[in-house]
Structure 1
């Protein structure tokens, strides 16, 4: 059985000398895959899958109904912390802005601005804060609202995105003002990956947009802070691509008064694939394992934010795994996709 991942890096890195919490939900999926492979006689692939038993992945809070599960995970992390004497850090992904994914076919969420979405989202954030405050001794890293900045900054010509941009900025600022004031929380605002922001026309407007959000958050609560930004969440860009991007973008963040620290999702980024879709991309493999031993002062940690094996929407590209795209929705487990990611892992398992 694989050992838990202990991370260490610079003195101010929130992941320093902590164990990345491996949540029981993902462990269960790994165990099911292992059992299935063993029963099929595929012991070679089963051995690789078993190595993922204690890997940490993001816990996505994408609806009001999931908010109570936060305390379940934090209690489990606290139990492990007490049993092992090793401090845990839990990776949460907050993902419920009103009318999210404004430029894509992804889920638009349960809140609408026309039906009190701004106030409902604020209530959602306050409820999350209440859960986190119950466990002050458990450290939490929060990835805030994947796709929001990506969609609004690059798609303002799309009517829905233009209509929600102001609301998204307010929502992100409010979330930072509340969650970023908690002593056990480090926040990373999710931003686009290198494939978008390295275009000269995009990089300055994006930095200014991020700076505006942070300024608004500090105006709401001067005690609120963020640690940095998260990149390549749910994406496929390789680590070297993202690290180069971080180095280029960091001065822009500093210029607008935003902390220039990064975490990067590498759960499906092991291979330099040609991406024509962000879903079920052919030839993708598991990337570098979660760690903060990055030898890079800008990069706090390599993470697996999007759990490998969980689907992230419909696409005809999913047919490349033999799956039926009409029957695959966001957040479901796709065994074929997972096994392909394991087989093509880089570094290999």
Structure 2
């Protein structure tokens, strides 16, 4: 799904006006926390009354890319993207220090979004976004990754934080158990996610365990096993009260509400009624709740503006023709959906289209994948400009 960027891309800057100058963040704007400790009450919507923070790391990445752009329209639109709230991926141990930096820049009006994403044997069913830790390195995941993240959050109790916990991990155990890479990762995945949930359970934190999307766990045969896997790990963690539910469509392409569904005419459509994420969430949530876990959801709308682009549900890599979707908001029209959020940073590649590369995944070579594309996590300016062009609502 995603791989790391260099720390040099994470200076505290924002994209400026179309003059192409880059300005430092104003100290008053970065006046971090509230005057008192934040408590995100169980059962509440942690995004209500708060703005998803537009983190400086993504803004800096956009600013660096815009230095070679001369089109004033693109510059203006890019500036607005940089000012839109998005989650920051903590996908390597080297990026853990960014957590403390993010705490200092998040104002009281905002909620900081972080993706916890560095399990041993990460993304066991894909090649493009395999992680730095090998299967069996659970102790290192705990001590060098989760523990320092917890320390940084604990040191900033006046900052509201939303965490997405390990995208793709538990869904892979449900549907890809036949792969040796996934079956051998099962113990580390379950123990690692449980440890993260237990250790990051602070009053100012709202956690969402990743549940794939409707085209993954939404199949009739996957719904109950998927819910059982997630609630099993939640229970193993001691049922932490700061778990608010699950995340869907992370780095994905599915529509929230679409009738008929994108793949409703497929020959196997009768086996999956979850043709959009609203149906998936409304169907999956009761199963999660019956397992004793809070069952609200957040959905990634970062790149899902255009539908009908994929040849199959499972085509996940750099989908051609995509556009930035609905901006982050807690006004979702569904009482089970706490917020639409931007999770995958638009412009960062999902994986390389270079068939000779070590990390090449065949999905990045499919006919519906954008080409050329660099390694996962690296910037693809042409793709970013396509996302701008196809954005709904448009960036004016």
Aligned pairs for 1:1-349 within 5 A: 12-34=44-66, 36-37=68-69, 39=70, 42-77=71-106, 81=107, 86-114=108-136, 117-123=137-143, 124-180=145-201, 182-218=202-238, 224-240=241-257, 241-275=276-310, 276=312, 277-314=315-352, 315-317=364-366, 321-323=370-372, 325=373, 328-349=374-395
Is the 8 Å Cα contact of residues 97 and 171 (structure 1) preserved in structure 2? Answer: yes
* CA RMSD, Structure 1 to Structure 2 (Å): 2.2
Is the 8 Å Cα contact of residues 273 and 284 (structure 1) preserved in structure 2? Answer: no
Is the 8 Å Cα contact of residues 51 and 85 (structure 2) preserved in structure 1? Answer: no
Residue 51 of structure 1 deviates from its aligned partner by 2.4
SS at match of 1:197: coil
Residue 46 of structure 1 deviates from its aligned partner by 3.3
Greater Cα shift, 143-152 or 24-33: 24-33
Aligned-partner Cα distance in 1 for 2:127–2:236: 29
Residue 273 of structure 1 deviates from its aligned partner by 3.2
TM superposition score normalised by structure 2: 0.77
Is the 8 Å Cα contact of residues 144 and 190 (structure 1) preserved in structure 2? Answer: yes
Q: More helix per residue: 1 or 2?
A: 1
Residue 35 of structure 1 deviates from its aligned partner by 5.2
Residue 47 of structure 1 deviates from its aligned partner by 3.2
Q: Deviations over 1:267-309 (max 9, x none)?
A: 1101113335311111111110111111221111111101111
Is the 8 Å Cα contact of residues 205 and 242 (structure 2) preserved in structure 1? Answer: no
Residue 48 of structure 1 deviates from its aligned partner by 2.7
Aligned-partner Cα distance in 2 for 1:153–1:65: 30
Q: How many positions carry a matched residue from both structures? A: 324
Is the 8 Å Cα contact of residues 322 and 336 (structure 1) preserved in structure 2? Answer: no
Residue 33 of structure 1 deviates from its aligned partner by 4.9
Is the 8 Å Cα contact of residues 67 and 128 (structure 1) preserved in structure 2? Answer: yes
Aligned-partner Cα distance in 1 for 2:380–2:51: 27
Task: Give the 3 Å change call, closer, same or farther, for CA 59–318 of structure 1 in structure 2.
Answer: farther
Residue 196 of structure 1 deviates from its aligned partner by 1.5
SS at match of 1:122: helix
Q: Runs of 5+ in structure 2 lacking a partner?
A: 1-15, 18-28, 30-41, 258-275, 353-363
Aligned-partner Cα distance in 1 for 2:52–2:88: 12
Is the 8 Å Cα contact of residues 120 and 138 (structure 2) preserved in structure 1? Answer: yes
Aligned-partner Cα distance in 2 for 1:262–1:228: 5
Aligned-partner Cα distance in 2 for 1:223–1:336: 43
Q: Deviations over 1:69-109 (max 9, x none)?
A: 110111111xxx2xxxx422100001000001111113332
Q: Deviations over 1:180-211 (max 9, x none)?
A: 2x111110001110111221110000111111
Q: Deviations over 1:216-244 (max 9, x none)?
A: 011xxx65430110000001001211112
Task: Give the 3 Å change call, closer, same or farther, for CA 158–50 of structure 1 in structure 2.
Answer: same
Is the 8 Å Cα contact of residues 234 and 240 (structure 2) preserved in structure 1? Answer: no
Task: Give the 3 Å change call, closer, same or farther, for CA 88–24 of structure 1 in structure 2.
Answer: same
SS at match of 1:195: coil
Is the 8 Å Cα contact of residues 100 and 148 (structure 1) preserved in structure 2? Answer: yes
